[in-house]
Amino acid sequence: MERLDSDVRKCPFAFLMMLSLSAAAIIALLVLLIR
């Protein structure tokens, strides 16, 4: 866990990209479910 924390501190952009990708996947799933 500490290693992951230091990686996030070193490269916050990659962490934000991962968050946005997971959010986009969740939104796509919701859209498919609603249709």
Give the C-alpha separation, 25 to 8, whole Å.
21
Give the C-alpha separation, 22 to 16, whole Å.
10
Give the C-alpha separation, 11 to 6, whole Å.
9
pTM for the complete prediction?
A: 0.56
> For the chain, what is the radius of gyration of the CA atoms?
14
Considering its fold, how many domains does the chain have in total?
1
Encoded amino acid at 8, one letter: V
Range of the domain at 26: 2-34
pLDDT digits (tens, 9 = 90+) for 1-35: 566 666 656 777 888 899 999 999 999 999 999 98
Residues 6+ apart with CB under 8 A from 15: 8
